[in-house]
A and B are shown apart, each in its own frame.
Chain A
Amino acid sequence: QKEVEQNSGPLSVPEGAIASLNCTYSDRVSQSFFWYRQYSGKSPELIMSIYSNGDKEDGRFTAQLNKASQYVSLLIRDSQPSDSATYLCAVNLRGAGSYQLTFGKGTKLSVIP
């Protein structure tokens, strides 16, 4: 069973701290990795994509990918209360016919003022 695994949380961090979210995946040949943010009652929103080993930074967000360890993470620096949401890791896994975007169950982040 090809899967994407995340800690469900909740993860609580104080305002201004770094939030670290982790994800592992099972398919070694996956090529595309994404982080989505979902506020309560809303649909998922793409915030980061990463395709190569290493770090990718976008504002306060940094995505990290280690294909050898099948591990992808998201760091949120200077966390704000508005970052409180569920963060979904998504990986393009091989399905029956082609690749399919498979999601973890998400990590709920709470940023405490």
Chain B
Amino acid sequence: KAGVTQTPRYLIKTRGQQVTLSCSPISGHRSVSWYQQTPGQGLQFLFEYFSETQRNKGNFPGRFSGRQFSNSRSEMNVSTLELGDSALYLCASSIGQGRYGYTFGSGTRLTVV
């Protein structure tokens, strides 16, 4: 059974640009969450999607957005990149509403220069 797949693995972008990250959940998992991980702040919740609907959003500016498609694949977008957006972005999927925990992908390492 394939795990959670995130693409790309690494990205280098310039300040002001925008970026789109992709996540394919485990087959059958309808819930997808996104997290930002930095050394100082740890894992911070960005948003969660279930059946194409955003159910929850963390405390991030509107530059961070996401969506989920009918096949449960999800994308997140960050516009007008800032240096502080440099982080590991992790996607995680769950079979339900997270009661049984989430399985993480390998992440996308974003560097903003």
Are A32 and B56 also in contact (CB < 8 A) when A43-B90, A45-B104, A88-B43 are?
no
* Shortest distance between the CB of A13 and any CB in chain B (Å): 22
* Shortest distance between the CB of A42 and any CB in chain B (Å): 8
Instruction: Give Cα A32 to B35, complex, Å.
Output: 18
Instruction: Give Cα A45 to B105, complex, Å.
Output: 9
Interface segment, one of A19-27, A56-64, A72-80, A94-102: A94-102
Q: Is the CB of B98 within 8 A of A32?
A: yes
Are A98 and B56 also in contact (CB < 8 A) when A43-B106, A106-B42 are?
yes
Q: Which residues of A contact B28 (CB under 8 A)?
A: none
Are A31 and B104 also in contact (CB < 8 A) when A97-B56, A98-B56 are?
no
Interface residues on B, range: 20 to 34
B64 near A: Cβ within 8 Å? no
A103 near B: Cβ within 8 Å? yes
Q: Is the CB of A98 within 8 A of B101?
A: no
Number of interface residues of A (CB under 8 A): 25
Interfacial residues, chain B to chain A (CB-CB below 8 A): 33, 35, 41-43, 45, 48, 54-58, 90, 92, 97-107
Known contacts A90-B101, A102-B45; 18 additional CB pairs below 8 A are: A32-B101, A43-B104, A43-B105, A43-B106, A45-B104, A46-B101, A46-B102, A95-B56, A97-B54, A97-B55, A98-B48, A98-B56, A99-B56, A99-B97, A100-B45, A100-B48, A101-B92, A104-B42
